[in-house]
A and B are shown apart, each in its own frame.
Chain A
Amino acid sequence: MFAFIIRRILQAVVVMLVISLMGFAIKNNIGDPVRDLVGERVTPAERAKMADDMGLNDPFLIQYLRFIGHAVKGDLGRSFLYNKPNLEVISQHAPATIELLMGTALIIVLISLPLGVQSALQPKSKLARFTMSFSTLGISMPVFLTAILLIYVFAVHLQILPSFGRGETVDLFGNGYWNTGFLTRDGLEHLILPCLSLSSIMLPLFIRLIRSEMMEVLETEYIKYAWAKGLSPARVWMVHAFKNTLLPVVTVFGVQMGITFAFTILTELVFQWQGMGFMFLEAVQRADISLLIAYLVVVASVFVLVNTVVDIVYGFINPTVRIVGTR
């Protein structure tokens, strides 16, 4: 078991090295960060000197090794654009994205569960038909279009919801890192439209998934048996059928939230939502290669960490995984 854990961790380290190397390989194609730091009047000689001072002219390998050297000490460099340590920039932007995802997950759960179950139980009802046709529409609309549409309807025409930004936030721990929008009315209002547009891509999928899973479960032998036993419909549906419907749904939910994370970039851009996706786009446009690499490493390490932990836990639960690993 010990050897297994060590091997898994070593693999994770190798993956991280490869990812950081890839990040470094593309960095020269993003653009010149010096250009963004200076006005257009600065002479080429001055710019060359700056690039030298920033270490941008060093050989690739030296730059990379320097980065790794700092990284193992927990220093991922300094953002050119925000003029702060990269880790600080990223951790200040992360809560906005996490809250956006949390709000989105909440909307998905609150809407898809009742609608999915209803359309499975009464597939011929008007509501079920409406849900199904509406979800086809939702699944085929790109997220930024949904977002702009929502802004124009609710912010510009009806003027009942704000159009951009996070609104009033509360500093949760008093250290400036986690500013939450969940605690003020204004902050909650600002959350509605971005969360709605982000959930619009996943909502139809889940409604359909829950519906088909539920319908399948309703056809199984044990449900028929439950009916035969004379149980009340509420008990058959909610306790016996619904519970078993949820298993695959939860698995898919986990995977889909990862995909939703990718969609936050577009949503954050349209709503000027100051999260990691917005920060990422800014970094690309302003050629903040230092922040880009740090972002890549942080996101990758989150994924690698989660996967490694899962693998190790699997090893404990299921010994065959370990045996395959020792092959």
Chain B
Amino acid sequence: MKKLVLGLSFFLVLSFTVCAGAKTLKVGMDADPVSLDLHVQLSGAMLQLSHWAFDPLVRWTKEMTFEPRLATRWERMDDLTMRFFLRKGVKFHSGNPFTAKDVKWSFDRMKTSVDYKGLLDPFDGCYIVDDYTIDIKTKKPYALLLNMSTYFFAMDSKFYTGTDANGHPKDTILKIGESFALNNESGTGPFVVTKRQQGVVLEMERFKDYWDVKSPGNVTKFILTPIKENATRVAALLSGDVDFIYPVPPQDFARVHSDDRVKLVSVAGSRIITFQMNQNRVKALKDPRVRQAIVHAVNNVGIVEKIMKGTATVAAQQGPAGFAGYKSALKPRYDLKKAKALMKEAGFEKGFEITMMAPNNRYVNDAKIAEATAQMLGKINISVNLKTLPKAQYWNEFDAKAADMMMIGWHSDTEDSGNFSEYLVMCENKDTGMGQYNSGYCNPQIDGLIIAARSETNLDKRATMLQEIEQILYDDAAFVPYHWQNHSYGAKKNFQIEPIVNGMNFPYFGDLVVK
């Protein structure tokens, strides 16, 4: 009993102290990071955490330009090398000073991570010039060096070196099992993790010695709670239990919009939703006219309007506006008459039967989009045998190319057009890893262009090449384009979230102003 009273009074005291003059931010999201170790998984939730507890060399702004973070400026030395000048006087959460050594250490560690290996393949290495200068080298000229530098978060090399209580090295990257970095962090970021319970809560407090004193952010305590159920997440915002939610599901848009206490902020994203057509499984799909007919039969404008409730941008190509490869001349192609004519021309007036698969919990309204597509294809006499699966099962079916048409959404890791093509449309090559998510389209002409664009450092020339790729894919009807998903955030009115949310879905809460 004594213990109980003691515990109660302790909590009372605690709740009072927390209230005093602090700005608390309570966030409800659909997922929480799986670890405190940045390099353990390449996923949205992990990158979000990276921006809260750590800092990259440079980061994307909302307008897709580069903003100096741990690097104050950078200079191209030659075709292969970029020199970064690092910020001085930066401290890690542990108190250790930040130097070039930490950048190199983090870079080298990242290279050993299975999730990042592929992305870092073009890189040769990281070389220390002096304590606050560093050279990053690529194997071949690489136009996306700066884009990739947004992934170079600095970990505290001193903190993560040595052995932990169990005698294991502290720098181990472990997906399953206890590792030091799983539960301990020391970054330079605006927030220090104070409590973490996987799937339950992640609590952070503002880092007192944060280097970015110019940041207007005034959040002192930040609590992230994963809320899986859409209806509950929206209710939590409307009832005032949380201050910020992501994502707001399309069906609740009107409701959040109409409430005076909260606001809805939508940012155009760059994740393209497509269906791929497997030419190796179905002969008819080898005929570009049939593929064109399918693309013409799919009313993606209607899908965005009716199913996505306008929370997406209709697409006719892979990369959205603002990307180097974007070609504004490529317009959505819905035209049922033309689709029927094309089918007739190709000799498939009577149609044929195909199988289709899509996930049902991976993308926004993925199963509904697939169902609508199946109906639309019915109008040109293609009868579709549709199966939707949870993502835990879907990806293995995708790998096995188990259906004639398969849905895939893709977000470019480099925020650049090339990345789409490398994974989605290049001929599948198990050795190079190219075309890893391509189920049955192969065009050597495009492959050549993609590889050439990869090492082209003249940005104008490169953009022309990337646009040419989009044009060929469009003419060839390589895939069925749908839309780019928006990111939709809900927040209380006094949380000024507009400047801190962006198309990458990395809310920069360190800079959030709460009135």
Contact = CB atoms under 8 A, between A and B. Distances in A.
Contacts of B43: 39
B392 A163 contact: no
B383 to A, nearest CB: 27
A164 B236 contact: yes
Contacts of B177: 78, 83
A197 B11 CA distance: 28
Contacts of B390: 31, 285
B371 to A, nearest CB: 21
A127 B117 CA distance: 70
Contact of A164 (B232, B361, B391, B437): B232
Interface in A269-318: 269-272, 274, 279, 282, 284-287
A162 interface: yes
Contacts of B392: 30-33, 35-36, 284-287
A95 to B, nearest CB: 13
Interface stretch (B96-104, B221-229, B481-489): B221-229
A248 B423 CA distance: 65
Interface in B191-247: 198-200, 225-229, 231-232, 235-236, 238-241
B162 interface: no
Interface in A1-37: 29-33, 35-37
Contacts of A286: 392
Contacts, number: 142
Contacts of A46: 114, 117
Given A43-B436, A83-B182, A170-B7, A274 B114 contact: no
B176 A44 contact: no
A50 interface: yes
Given A41-B413, A83-B198, A269-B228, A50 B8 contact: no
Nearest to A77: B176
A45 B118 CA distance: 12
Interface residues of A, number: 51
A45 B232 CA distance: 39
A163 B239 contact: yes
Contacts of B119: 41
A184 interface: yes
Interface string A77-95: 0101111100000000000
A156 interface: yes
Contacts of A168: 11, 15
Contacts of A170: 7-8, 11
Contacts of A159: 239-240
A162 B225 CA distance: 14
Interface in B456-488: none
Interface string B444-458: 000000000000000
Interface string B341-371: 0000000000000000000010000000000
A40 B437 CA distance: 9
A183 interface: yes
B430 interface: yes
B175 A82 contact: no
B41 interface: yes
B34 A164 contact: no
Given A35-B396, A44-B436, A162 B115 contact: no
B399 A44 contact: yes
Nearest to A45: B430
A170 B14 CA distance: 12
A269 B42 CA distance: 27
Given A38-B42, A41-B423, 14 more contacts: A33-B392, A38-B115, A40-B395, A41-B413, A42-B118, A43-B433, A46-B117, A83-B35, A83-B176, A159-B239, A164-B28, A164-B227, A272-B228, A272-B229
- 10 tightest A-B contacts by CB? A31-B392, A39-B42, A287-B392, A155-B239, A31-B393, A163-B239, A39-B115, A156-B238, A163-B235, A46-B114
Interface of B: 4, 7-8, 11, 15, 28, 34-35, 41-43, 114-115, 117-119, 175-178, 182, 198-200, 225-229, 231-232, 235-236, 238-241, 361, 390-393, 395-396, 399, 413, 423, 430, 433, 436-437
5 contacts: A40-B395, A41-B436, A151-B231, A151-B232, A163-B236
